[in-house]
Amino acid sequence: MKNPRQGGFKAAYFIYAMMTLDNVGFVANMASMVLYFLNVMRYDFSGSATTTTNYLGTAFLLTLVGGFISDAYMTRLNTGLLFGSIEVLGYVLLIIQSRYPKLQPDACEKSTCIHGTKTLLFYASLGLAALGGGGIRGSIPALGADQFDYENPEERKHIATFFNWFLLSITIGATVGVTFVVYVSTNVGWYIGFAISLSCAFSGLVAVALGKPFYRVRVPGESPLLRVLQVLVVAVKNWRIDVPNKNELYEPKDYESVSHGKPISHSNQFRLLDKAAVLPNGMKAGKWIVCTVTQVEEVKILTRMMPILLSTILMNTCLAQLQTFSVQQGTIMNTRICGFSISPASIPVIPLVFMSLLIPVYEFAFVPILSKITGHPNGITHLQRVGVGLVLSALSMTIAAIIEVKRKYESVHHNYQISLFWLSFHYAIFGIADMFTLVGLMEFFYKEAPTGMRSLSTSFSWLSLSIGYFLSSAFVELIGVVTRKASKSKTGWLDGIDMNKNQLELFYWFLAILSVLNFVNYAFWAKWYKYKKDVPIDEWHKSSFSASVNLTPKNQDVSTNEEHEEKQNGVK
């Protein structure tokens, strides 16, 4: 029996506290690292931008490591504590290098001036901070969602609410980070800013550890990647075998053989993978001989998720511009607002404020009203929510291009610096887009994933961010190469340190057009996606078994629920 003291929102509060504290430093660094690389580590404009996106891309890519470990080897709580400790160590090294000028590079005429042992310390600090921050985000969201029993309809409906408040906790911490911590870093001292980040990260670890008596802790199971590999290997080995009737596919009666006791009904998509669930004649069942229908369906689910994941990458490429080029734009704009001098790295506070206000409005007003209209408990489906975010991100890049045209015109023709506040328009719109997309993706991946893969699957939301940042770096380099060759002056759109002479607005237009095309692509895949259908345990046990080979007939096909799925499915 479940302990009534464990789980629910009383356990989630500790997780909210950790994410609020951890994101004070993490998001402050996301916003200001480009200036640290530019002014302290002596990178040029494009070098500081690509170094920032590579750092953030690595951090979010490493969420997969945290997700994998917490699914297969350690509890999600212990995984979060381990990687949190690694993040703290990374902050210690950042403090040391930013405190002592002898550990920093001297100014030079090259795109990067750092070398020798200074480089080793630099990349070690960034690597540990990225690994720790990524591991936390790969394990903690799933730990929070685990506090609500997915099999209990009353608790299941709270999972969406958990992710909304989870985002709000991130937003509150980020707001403190991009205002107070960024101000301290850029005006008082970088090492003091990193010290504040370290203190908050350590306090977050203490907070999440204090909640241990209240957590429902899932015991790690078989490696999810190994289960996927088994299906692929067996399907290749059986490629000559014809796929039989679905009732003849392998599904043993033993309850424990099913992935964590959650049987999944057979679906007709990707029938080629069904070859892995065929037991060859004369052979005894084994892990690398035959896979269960449920195990095959797990791989099918992950395969169906991939187009959705890939369709959200470009939005995060757009997000990277708000943390690199838009911050650099702010350095040559009028930073005084209402008599106060604002750091350009603090401009992301505007979308964060919007999100802080809109998340409660979304939860308490938007969802109930839409639920009455659509009949969906969350107002709109996960995939529809993601689609709204993709549309808004395209709009954000369009406005960014228009603002850059205005900024450059006023600067070049009238020698006038427009206010930093102009950047708030596309920042605010992107903040709303992020509110829709990030939570929609995390909830989608958590609910659709097989039980034993939920940490890894939830990490896909951050993986999209990672690839988006890396794609931004690739775009910057590629645009530079192509536009230099196409230009008579042999100068690329993003070359040089004078932003009045480059063509940043064309880069924004390029991203806006790609975003529109990407939404069309996403709408297709969201419509195509079929939500998974778990088999009720009682129905599964009532199923008859084939006496000849001890197989479980799969009488319930996902197609019998076609009408139900069509109502839930994607972007209408």
DSSP string for 382-446: HHHHHHHHHHHHHHHHHHHHHHHHHHHHHHHHH--PPBGGGGHHHHHHHHHHHHHHHHHHHHHHH
The reported pLDDT for the residue numbered 263 is 77
Distances (CA, A) of 383 to 46, 56, 311, 442, 537: 35, 25, 11, 11, 27
**β-bridge partners, 341:** 336
What is the residue whose two structure tokens read 């000849």?
Answer: 548
Quick one: which of 213, 304, 233, 303 has its CA closest to 13? Answer: 213
Q: Please count the residues of the chain.
A: 572
**Which amino acid is it at 354?**
F
- The backbone torsions φ and ψ at residue 336, rounded to the nearest 5 degrees and listed phi first, read -90, 120
Q: Is the dihedral of CA 430, 434, 437, 440 positive or negative?
A: negative
CB-based contacts of 542: which residues, under 8 Å, 6+ apart?
none
The reported pLDDT for the residue numbered 537 is 45
CB 163, CB 53: distance < 8 Å: no
Task: Please state whether beta strands 336-337 and 340-341 pair in parallel, antiparallel, or not at all (unpaired).
Answer: antiparallel
The reported pLDDT for the residue numbered 227 is 84
Domains of the chain from N-terminus onward: 9-220+312-528 (1.20.1250.20), 224-299+547-568 (no CATH)
Both structure tokens of 173? 């911490």
Q: What is the pLDDT along the chain (572 residues), one digit of tens a residue?
A: 456 677 888 999 999 999 999 999 998 888 888 888 888 888 877 778 888 888 888 898 898 888 888 877 888 899 999 999 999 999 999 999 999 989 888 777 666 777 788 889 999 999 999 999 999 998 898 888 888 887 777 777 788 888 889 989 999 999 999 889 998 998 899 999 999 999 999 999 999 999 999 988 877 766 777 888 899 999 999 888 888 787 788 887 654 444 455 678 888 888 889 988 888 887 888 888 888 888 888 889 888 889 998 999 999 899 888 877 887 788 888 888 777 777 777 777 877 887 888 888 888 888 888 888 888 777 888 889 899 999 999 999 999 999 999 999 998 888 888 988 888 888 889 888 988 888 888 888 888 877 777 777 777 878 888 888 889 888 888 888 888 888 777 777 877 667 888 888 999 999 999 999 999 999 999 988 887 665 544 444 444 333 333 333 333 333 333 334 444 444 43
- The backbone torsions φ and ψ at residue 6, rounded to the nearest 5 degrees and listed phi first, read -105, 150
Q: Is the dihedral of CA 224, 307, 429, 183 positive or negative?
A: positive
